[in-house]
Amino acid sequence: MPVGIFDSGLGGLTVFNAIRQRMPEQPLLYLGDNKHTPYGVRDPEDIYELTVRNTQQLFDQGCDLVILACNTASAVALRRMQETWIPSNKRVLGVFVPLIEALTERKWGDNSPPREVAVNQVALFATPATVASRAFQRELAFRAVGVDVEAQPCGGLVDALEMNDLELAEAMVHSHVAALLRRMPKPQAAVLGCTHYPILEHVFQEALGPDVTVYSQGNLVAASLEDYLRRHPDLIGADGATRCMTTGDPKSVSVAATRFLGKHMVFEAA
């Protein structure tokens, strides 16, 4: 059976690609809600309703496990979904946990009290909705104490990447990094809290400087999923089949996805 991967647009393809490279035998079904992208400027109720609708579509396509490869959906909708909506025979995972595991160097199953960690100055770059939710800070507080998180809402960056305007996107990265550094001059680590942003990881690194460790999600989520499937072998598939669906126009999304990921991508209508 396929693992479902959902994103508001193209950003989750960075997670899709990392999983594909790490587990080529695992079937995957990607769904991008390109018709309604970006989510990062929407209100919480709208984000919740869209996330539920698209997750249900992946369930209907045979996915028993869905990854919300969208930080905004993970931050705003996931907890409510887990508490009130997800059927008992289905599972939905977000993308914050692998980041926090890497940042705090402790596994999510470690339920010991929060403790001090090596990194205590963290820059968070994310969509306005993710920043407003404070979900990253909330989840981090369960695992670590004494960590100062300075969050920068990166308005417009997802739009630029969806339009494949890399020149504009790179300029935006430098502007957002400069704004954050005025408030936190010496971060030890930077978290790219949107799955679109790894496409510009090198630009973030350049703007932040070589002394800042940049965490992005693709490889971290892929490694976490591999561990999760090892512990839940009933969810493992073996035929390696992949499909990509979109709520937008399949032809234009296929072109944009090919440019975004740098490899040929074909989308079908959801």
Annotated active-site positions, please?
Answer: 70, 194
Which two tokens mark 213? 């460790």
Distances (CA, A) of 11 to 20, 43, 86, 99, 164: 15, 20, 24, 16, 12
Classify the C-alpha dihedral 93-27-24-158 as positive or negative: negative
Please tell me the distance from the alpha carbon of residue 152 to that of residue 157, in angstroms, as a whole number: 12
Please tell me the distance from the alpha carbon of residue 33 to that of residue 174, in angstroms, as a whole number: 28
Query: Which residues are bridge partners to 189 per DSSP?
Result: 122, 213
164 CB-near residues (< 8 Å, 6+ apart): 256, 259, 260
Q: Give the torsion through C-alpha atoms of 58, 129, 201, 31, to 10 deg.
A: 10
State the angle between helix axes of 218-231 and 13-22 in degrees (0 to 180), rounded to the nearest 10.
Answer: 50
Please tell me the distance from the alpha carbon of residue 179 to that of residue 161, in angstroms, as a whole number: 20
